[in-house]
Structure 1
Amino acid sequence: MSEKPGGREVRQEIYIEASPETVFALLTDATEIKKWQAEIVDADPVPGGVFRLAESGGMQIEGHYVEVVPYCKVVFTWGGIGGVAPGQSTVEFLLEPSGTGTLVRLRHYNLPASSFDAHDREWALGGLPKLKAVAEGRDPGGLCLSSQGR
C-alpha cells in the first residue's frame, strides 16, 4: 500500500526480551494475537489475507496483510476506529534481533491528522507495552481494543 499525501505517521520502538519468532507469532497467529489485542481475531498472514480485531461490544478494526516476512516484518492495513476508515492506514512492524531479545520498530502511517494523537498515545501506552508484556510472559493488563475509545 502506498503512502497518501498529507497522512500522518506514528513511529515508535520498543525492546522486547523475547525472540523474533515469539514476537512474530504475536503479530500473525490469531491465538497469540488474542492474548494482547482483542477478544475476536481473524488473521490470515499472507498478502491479501484478512486482519480483523473485534470485541463483543462492537468495536472493530479491519484490514488485510500486505507483507509478511517470517521473523522480520509484518505489514497490514488498519481502520475502523478513531476516525480511520477500514483499511485506510497501514501498520508496519520491523523485528530486529538485539542482544537476547528483539527490537520492534512500529510505523503506523496514512493516519488522518484528526486521529494521529489518539493512535500515537494508544501505541505508546497500550499496544507496544501490551505486546512486550505478553512476549515476556507477563499479564498485559487487558486487551488493546478493549481500552481504546474509553
Structure 2
Amino acid sequence: MYSRILLPTDGSELSHACVTAGLEFAQQLKAEVVAVFVASNYQYPLYVDIVPPNGPTEDEYREAMQAMAENYLQPVREAAAAAGLAYQEVIQFNDSTAREIVHTAQEYGCDLIFMGSHGRSGLGQFLLGSVTTKVLSLCLIPVLVHRIKHH
C-alpha cells in the first residue's frame, strides 16, 4: 500500500501525538518513515545598517533552530527505532512550511504524508489547520489527516 511515509512535526503536543499515530500506522504497513521539521528562515532586521546588539546572527539562529529541531525529532527517532522502522529525518529552512513539506515528500520519494489536523496553532475542532489545508491544496500524493479527538 504505502512504503515511505512523511511525518511532519512542529514540536507541539498535538503534533507529537499525531507522529506517534503515524509511527503506529507505518509499523502496521511495514513502511519506512521520513520525519521532517520545517523552521522559518532567518529574518534580517528591518534596518540592516542597525543590527540590534542582542539579536542573534544568522549563524546563531540556524544553530539554535537546528538544536531545537533535533530535540523535537529525538522522541520520533527513538520511537521509530523501538518499532523497528527504517527512519530518516530532515530539518529544512523555509518560510512556507506547507510547500517545504510537499517538496520534502517529493524529494524523499514518499507516497503518503501523515499529518495532524492541527499543529502548534491548535485552533478549533471544526477547521483544519492552515498548514494542513495548504498541504492538501498543493500535494499530488495522498495526505492522511489525523485528528486528535481529546487533548
Q: Same fold (TM over 0.5)?
A: no
Per residue, is there more helix in 1 or in 2? 2
| TM-score, L = length of structure 2 | 0.30
| TM-score, L = length of structure 1 | 0.30
Larger Rg: 2
Per residue, is there more strand in 1 or in 2? 1
